[in-house]
Copies of this chain bind each other. A is one copy, B any other.
């Protein structure tokens, strides 16, 4: 029951292609093309665009069309500001044992990916880790906000992952943060996470525009 609407499925398909890196930032999405490509009406594509635009994955230029969102230096800082606010607060608040276990699971997922030399899996494991931190707060709204932010970041992380060992250095950070969390040293964990985010932002803005 409760089959997702066609518009939702189109949006999901586009989200997938965006995450996959098939559609690069700045690329144009023409309604008619997608319409016939997916075998749906132009109007339905339009509704899907509205969804994606609300999630900031796509930008609408009136009368010009929709384009894959491309984040400038200002946006990168902005995204990290949101992450600092939400993730650090969540970590400082701690969480139930199950939620803490989920954080630990994400760390192990990262280790496994590193052992298998799977950079792709390493990246998603890292995102799971930060998602699990926000999930500590048990807030539906914060979870969706974080989900959108992570989706936004996937958009321009593709450039970064060219550097094979990009996420490698984060493994120990995650481990340390997780240990502090498990030990109940919330302030310390929060400080570690904050430092991590600051470093990550610097790296990112170094890779991208100035």
**Interface on A for B, CB 8 Å cutoff?**
2-3, 5, 43, 46-47, 50-51, 54-55, 62, 78-79, 81-82, 84-86, 88-90, 137, 139-142, 145, 149
A50 — which chain B residues lie within 8 A by C-beta? 47, 50-51, 54
User: Which interface residue of A5, A78, A85, A145 has the most chain B CB atoms within 10 A?
Assistant: A85
**Tally of this chain's copies:** 2
Q: What is the distance, in angstroms, from A53's C-beta to the closest C-beta of chain B?
A: 8
Q: Nearest 9 pairs between A and B by C-beta?
A: A54-B54, A50-B50, A85-B89, A81-B139, A82-B141, A78-B139, A78-B141, A47-B50, A78-B140
Say whether A85 contacts B142, CB under 8 Å. yes
Residues of chain B contacted by A3 (CB below 8 angstroms): 62
Q: Is the CB of A142 within 8 A of B51?
A: no
